[in-house]
Amino acid sequence: MTTVLVILPEGFEEIEAVTPIDLMRRAGFEVTIAALAEGIHVTGRSGLTLHATTSLTAVPEDQTFDLLLIPGGPGVRRLRDDPRVLRRVVAQTQGGGWLAAICAAPTVLNDAGVLDGRSFTAHPSVAGELPSARIGERLVIDGKLITSRGAGTALEFGLQLVEALAGPSKAREIASAIAT
């Protein structure tokens, strides 16, 4: 079974988390939603509260996942300030797993030092901090790194994650089921 870890801080962008999570679960992936803080309820930027699977503390640092997904939003600052997140990003890259980030979340990848020499996109609000980001592109794939520009690209991003991990026919199946 394909495994995914999604790390959610308070202030995450709901569309960027819920849309890919939903699509990946429709594809049959085992998606673990880990709250950055203790407890399992995490409130997004628009006031929606998600019930996480677990807290990040409860996920063993040596546990591996096929994909690590980091959504954006104002909560990205909390992710950037947490050394556990940065260690997981590095470990995911070193272990050869897929890494995905949307909106401002590529700044987390940059802080972890995994964007050097890579092609990626990000939200225009972080263009000054990430001058090599391909801001004009909705979605950028570089090896096992998938980045997307923001909430408006969340559906495309989620379907690309399904395609990367389960193939184009599964992505087409999910896209058809949701009437894209």
- The pLDDT tens digits for 105-139 are 999 999 999 999 999 999 999 999 999 999 999 99
**Domains and their CATH numbers in the chain:** 3-177 (3.40.50.880)
Question: Measuring CA to CA, which residue among 143, 167, 49, 126 is closest to residue 92?
Answer: 143
- Which whole number is the average pLDDT over 40-57? 98
| Catalytic residue (choose from 103, 109, 112, 151) | 103
103 is catalytic: yes
Q: Mean pLDDT score of the chain, rounded to an integer?
A: 98
Q: How confident is the model at residue 170 (pLDDT cuts 50, 70, 90)?
A: very high
Angle of helix 154-166 versus helix 14-26 axis, rounded to 10 = 30
Asked if 113 contacts 128 with a C-beta cutoff of 8 angstroms, the reply is no
Q: How confident is the model at residue 73 (pLDDT cuts 50, 70, 90)?
A: very high
